[in-house]
Amino acid sequence: MPFWRTYYHLVWTTKKREALIRPEIESRLYGYLESKARELGVHVYAIGGWTDHVHLVVAIPPRLSVAEVVKGLKGASTFHMNHGPAQDAHFAWQRGYGVLSLGEKQRPVAEAYVRQQKEHHSRQSTNSWLERTDETDDGPACMDHPINHSITRVGATLDGKDVAPAKEQESWP
Ligand SMILES: [Zn+2]
What pLDDT digit, counting tens, does each position of 147-157 carry?
554 544 444 44
Residue type, 141: A
* pLDDT at res. 70: 98
* pLDDT at res. 84: 67
**Dist. CA 15 → ligand 1 center (Å):** 15
* pLDDT at res. 162: 52
Contact present, 47 and 111 (Cβ < 8 Å): no
* pLDDT at res. 124: 94
**Dist. CA 89 → ligand 1 center (Å):** 24
pTM assigned to the model: 0.83
* pLDDT at res. 1: 84
Q: Can you tell me the distance from the alpha carbon of 149 to that of 110, in angstroms, rounded to the nearest whole number?
A: 30
* pLDDT at res. 20: 96
**Dist. CA 52 → ligand 1 center (Å):** 9
Class of the 7-139 domain? alpha beta
* pLDDT at res. 141: 77
* pLDDT at res. 89: 72
Q: Is 69 exposed, middle or buried (0-12, 13-18, 19+ CB in 10 A)?
A: buried
**Dist. CA 172 → ligand 1 center (Å):** 15
**Dist. CA 167 → ligand 1 center (Å):** 25
Residues of the chain with pLDDT under 70: 84-88, 142-170, 173
**Dist. CA 50 → ligand 1 center (Å):** 6
